Amino acid sequence: MISVEEATRRVLATARPLPAETVPLLQALGRVLLAPLHADRDFPPFHRVAMDGIALAYAAVAAGQTTFPIAATQLAGMPPQPLTDAQMAVEIMTGAALPPGTDTVVRYEDLAFHEVNGRRVAALQVPPPAVGHNVHHQAADRAAGDLLLPAGVRLSPAEIAVAATIGAATLPVARPLRVAVVSTGDELVALTQTPLPHQIRRSNAYMVQAALQEIGAESEAFHFNDDQQALRQGLPPLLGSFDALVLSGGVSKGQADFLPSVLQELGVTQLFHEVAQRPGKPFWFGEKPGGAVVFALPGNPVSTFVNFYQYVRPWLRLCQQPQASLPEPTALLATDFTFAPRISYFLPVRLELAPYGHLLAHPRHTGGSGDLASLLHYDGFLRLPPDQDEFKAGDAFPLVRFREW
Amino acid sequence: MISVEEATRRVLATARPLPAETVPLLQALGRVLLAPLHADRDFPPFHRVAMDGIALAYAAVAAGQTTFPIAATQLAGMPPQPLTDAQMAVEIMTGAALPPGTDTVVRYEDLAFHEVNGRRVAALQVPPPAVGHNVHHQAADRAAGDLLLPAGVRLSPAEIAVAATIGAATLPVARPLRVAVVSTGDELVALTQTPLPHQIRRSNAYMVQAALQEIGAESEAFHFNDDQQALRQGLPPLLGSFDALVLSGGVSKGQADFLPSVLQELGVTQLFHEVAQRPGKPFWFGEKPGGAVVFALPGNPVSTFVNFYQYVRPWLRLCQQPQASLPEPTALLATDFTFAPRISYFLPVRLELAPYGHLLAHPRHTGGSGDLASLLHYDGFLRLPPDQDEFKAGDAFPLVRFREW
């Protein structure tokens, strides 16, 4: 039986990059850019006025001049109004292009205005400290042709805004992952059916589909009864047309647990079966050469959940963004905890934000791996390593988080 | 001029609850539930077998019996097979309903099987430690009628799965917020236009729309030139039909900055104008009685960004989930920093996950509030309080985060 670390390595080794598709700018939010973006012009594209006030020639200030008749007014968006008389000034607004003949802006807060012979005159109250004051100079941030965004970045609102600036109405991004979510089990009935006393409704498939949706993967749900023939017929089209299959149930020691053998029959190479962990030990993982990766998760709801967040989500994220090295979060155990078996234990925890910004993890009682409703009280699992029995309050452990605030 | 804290209080005081709409289960992901969900049956609904193995009567074990002929086999999903002879056992699979006449399950790992006179017989290798072992008892987690989810919770994959279990094919959730994103400014041209030398493309509106999309709000974008008449005609329909307007530009001291006066003419009550902060000071905030809340943000990209994440996003989240008290994250300043003016300073920072789970905030050089591209290097802002000049490495400050990993 392999360790969680080794299982994670084998899972991540099968990640494959996704092909590009071109989507409208706002649909690219949260997706991964697949081609670099360069500045089409300088940033800013002109000497940009950074405050409302007047634009003047600093040389006049340096020569001792303190009052400046207004030669023209220039709002943002107007073509620049050249200043031909260096003793005068252009009244000017934030966002305007600095007029030829001027080099410095004095903001309204540092000016007083009066009229002389019907002409508006600005008097300096606080003289500008240097040439170029309150001017955001052309190319100060980026020059035309500079790399703005390398391929491989995930597009957050800041990147979307930068792409808008250069006129990128569409962007080439990684296409969404396509995942088949497959539930198996004769005891499971559809959401809309009334179960018989010994039956239950399917819920794992909804959990997995919701979790896939959260990270931007597309999914379709399928159900098979515990019937080898149905699996032999139903699985091959899925193996050929999806990036991954996430199955739940049918991988343990039971008489109806023939998924591993059926999958191998269908040409899926087993990469491991069983991981030294609780819950979720019977996890089976394989890959169809040239086809889908197969996550066959144990069907107990908490086991499905643990394995989804420990293995499936990181695999999906690595496919989306092969260049990324995402930091693994940790949290501090809030109270002592004991777990003797020499396997990794996924301890359900409720998270608290401690005053200095770290996360405190409070263990909670759980009804075991079948207790779906208990998940409502948790935010994640602390992954306690196999080589310890005693886990002390204040120690940090890797956090597998499934709920954000 | 009011403080950031006072401005935040006044903004949040205008949050209003959202009406319900009913959506299919998977579309409810990330939304806020508006009616409580109760268990339709016990959780589990029957004494649920938790391991593959055999079900037997513990009394026989207690009486010293160690071998159990198999009377029947019961897979998950099959009606229970009553055990009439307490000296025998039912071979049984995880997820099955415990058969009448049995009370305990022994897993395969603790059994050896052999045949006696053509009948399969299980021999205990590790006797069960107690009655009820490996049985997840009916109602152990929840009883029929118990509250599963109160109104007001945000629906993550765990809640979606629990809702599926009780057959909730649709859920009543808060409808999405509807926000009009309004850009103003004669210098701004559309994404697909080639700007003249003194013009730039609209980008703030895309940033705001993307940030709205991230938290599940719907938005529509509008643009007005710096033309009072166009605003007087164009804004009233928006004030009547959206929950909020987010404007950028037109609120500073410039001659084209007539948004505050036009908004008041149109019946929007000013709740404040200008906040003691940098960047983003000229923020104007108001509410139309019976209509939209109006966030009129300064148009410099970084100012728009800071104010969106400090004020608009918390307001949206409070509307979505009035009961929530979300923890305010903090981060530790990584290096000393000095800022003398007696106003709140939003210091751009890149975040690093420190070994004990807290966040280290690295300040970065910025080109000022016009430097949109600089945002690409940040993950958020540390909000440095106005009553200090010197900010020491290792001190914790509130974090306004705009990028997740």
pLDDT digits (tens, 9 = 90+) for A75-111: 999 999 999 999 999 999 999 999 999 999 999 999 9
- CA torsion B29-B32-B34-B35 (nearest 10°) is 50
- What the block records as the tokens of A192 is 């809309």
Which is nearest to B224 in space by CA: B236, B213, B216?
Answer: B236
Domain spanning A21-38+150-174: CATH 3.40.190.10: no
Q: How many CB atoms lie within 10 A of CB A254?
A: 25
Of B25, B77, B359, the CB nearest to A187: B77
**How do residues A183-237 score in pLDDT, each as one tens digit?**
998 999 999 999 999 999 999 999 999 999 999 999 999 999 889 999 999 999 9
Write down the pLDDT at residue B367.
Answer: 58
Least confident of A95-109, A327-341, A347-361, B306-320: A347-361
Tell me the average pLDDT across A49-61: 96
Answer whether A82's CB lies under 8 Å from A99's CB: yes
Write down the pLDDT at residue A331.
Answer: 93
Q: Which residues contact A262 (CB under 8 A, 6 or more apart)?
A: A228, A231, A232, A235
- Please state the ipTM of this predicted complex: 0.94
Write down the pLDDT at residue B264.
Answer: 96
Query: A26, B156: Cβ pair inside 8 Å?
Result: no
Answer whether A385's CB lies under 8 Å from A344's CB: yes
Answer whether B298's CB lies under 8 Å from B248's CB: yes
Tell me the average pLDDT across B323-347: 91
Domain spanning B4-18+175-320: CATH 3.40.980.10: yes
Superfamily of domain B330-401 in the CATH hierarchy: MoeA, C-terminal, domain IV (2.40.340.10)
Place of tokens 């020499």: A342
Judging contacts by C-beta atoms under 8 Å, the chain A residues touching residue B376 are: 148-149, 158-159, 162
Write down the pLDDT at residue A369.
Answer: 63
Contact status of B190 with chain A (Cβ, < 8 Å)? no
Place of tokens 């293995």: A311
Mean of the per-residue pLDDT values for chain A?
94
What is the percentage of chain B residues whose pLDDT exceeds 70?
99
Write down the pLDDT at residue B175.
Answer: 98
Q: Which of A207, A212, A381, A383 to mutate to test the interface with B (most CBs of B within 10 A)?
A: A207
Q: Where in chain A are the domains?
A: 4-18+175-320, 21-38+150-174, 48-136, 330-401
Q: Quick check: B366 pLDDT over 80? A: no
Backbone φ, ψ for residue A288 (5° rounding)? -85, 120
Domain spanning B23-41+148-174: CATH 3.90.105.10: yes
Which is nearest to B208 in space by CA: A31, A26, A169, A405?
Answer: A26
Write down the pLDDT at residue B19.
Answer: 97
Query: B254, A50: Cβ pair inside 8 Å?
Result: no
Q: Quick check: A249 pLDDT over 90? A: no
d(CA A211, CA A181): 11
Place of tokens 């002109």: A46
Domain spanning A48-136: CATH 2.170.190.11: yes
Write down the pLDDT at residue A256.
Answer: 77
Q: Which of B1, B38, B93, B196 to mutate to test the interface with A (most CBs of A within 10 A)?
A: B93
Q: Quick check: B365 pLDDT over 80? A: no
Write down the pLDDT at residue A368.
Answer: 66
d(CA A65, CA A51): 21
Query: A194, B226: Cβ pair inside 8 Å?
Result: no
Q: Quick check: A312 pLDDT over 90? A: yes
Place of tokens 């959990």: A207
The count of C-alpha atoms lying within 13 angstroms of the C-alpha of A325, restricted to the half-sphere facing its C-beta, is 2
Which is nearest to A268 in space by CA: A252, A251, A291, A249?
Answer: A291
d(CA B184, CA A20): 35
- What the block records as the tokens of A254 is 């039971």
Confidence of residue A113 (pLDDT cuts 50, 70, 90): very high
Answer whether A381's CB lies under 8 Å from A347's CB: yes
Write down the pLDDT at residue B368.
Answer: 66
Q: Quick check: A157 pLDDT over 70? A: yes
**How do residues B15-71 score in pLDDT, each as one tens digit?**
999 999 999 999 999 999 999 999 999 999 999 999 999 999 999 999 999 999 999
**Full 3-state SS string of chain B:** CECHHHHHHHHHCCCCCCCEEEEEHHHHCCCEECCCEECCCCECCCCEECCCEEEECHHHHHCCCCEEEEEEEECCCCCCCCCCCCCCEEEECCCCECCCCCCEEEEHHHEEEEEECCEEEEEECCCCCCCCCCEECCCCCECCCCEEECCCCECCHHHHHHHHHCCCCEEEEECCCEEEEEEECCCEECCCCCCCCCCEECCHHHHHHHHHHHCCCEEEEEEECCCHHHHHHHHHHHHHHCCEEEEECCCCCCCCCCHHHHHHHCCCEEEEECECEECCCCCEEEECCCCCEEEEECCCHHHHHHHHHHHHHHHHHHHHCCCCCCCCCEEEECCCEECCCCCEEEEEEEEEECCCCCEEEEECCCCCCCCHHHHHHCCEEEEECCCCCEECCCCEEEEEECCCC
Write down the pLDDT at residue A303.
Answer: 94
Confidence of residue A254 (pLDDT cuts 50, 70, 90): confident
Write down the pLDDT at residue A364.
Answer: 77
Which one-letter DSSP state was computed for residue A232?
H
Cα B137 to chain center, whole Å?
33
Contact status of B116 with chain A (Cβ, < 8 Å)? no
Tell me the average pLDDT across B76-97: 95
Backbone φ, ψ for residue B159 (5° rounding)? -70, -35
Which one-letter DSSP state was computed for residue A102?
-
Judging contacts by C-beta atoms under 8 Å, the chain B residues touching residue A188 are: 77
DSSP reduced 3-state for A15: coil
Tell me the average pLDDT across A39-67: 95
Write down the pLDDT at residue B206.
Answer: 97
- Is residue B208 classed exposed, middle or buried when 0-12, 13-18 and 19+ CB atoms within 10 A define those classes? buried
- DSSP per residue over A164-211, as a string? HHTT-SEEEEEPPPEEEEEEE-TTEE-TTSPPPTT-EE--HHHHHHHH
Sheet holding A104-107, edge to edge: A104-107, A53-56, A89-92, A67-74, A119-124, A111-116
What is the percentage of chain B residues whose pLDDT exceeds 90?
88
Judging contacts by C-beta atoms under 8 Å, the chain A residues touching residue B378 are: 158
Contact status of B42 with chain A (Cβ, < 8 Å)? no
Mean of the per-residue pLDDT values for chain B?
94
Write down the pLDDT at residue A357.
Answer: 73
Confidence of residue B369 (pLDDT cuts 50, 70, 90): low
**How do residues A342-353 score in pLDDT, each as one tens digit?**
999 999 999 998
Residues 338-397 of B with CB under 8 A from A: 352-359, 367-376, 378, 396
DSSP reduced 3-state for A295: strand
Write down the pLDDT at residue B154.
Answer: 96
d(CA A129, CA A113): 20
Q: Quick check: B245 pLDDT over 80? A: yes
Kindly list the distances between the CA atom of residue A237 and the CA atoms of A180, A182, A382, B384, in Å, as whole numbers in the listed order.
10, 13, 37, 57
Tell me the average pLDDT across B132-161: 95
Residues 216-275 of A with CB under 8 A from B: 225-226, 249, 252-257
Which one-letter DSSP state was computed for residue A222?
E
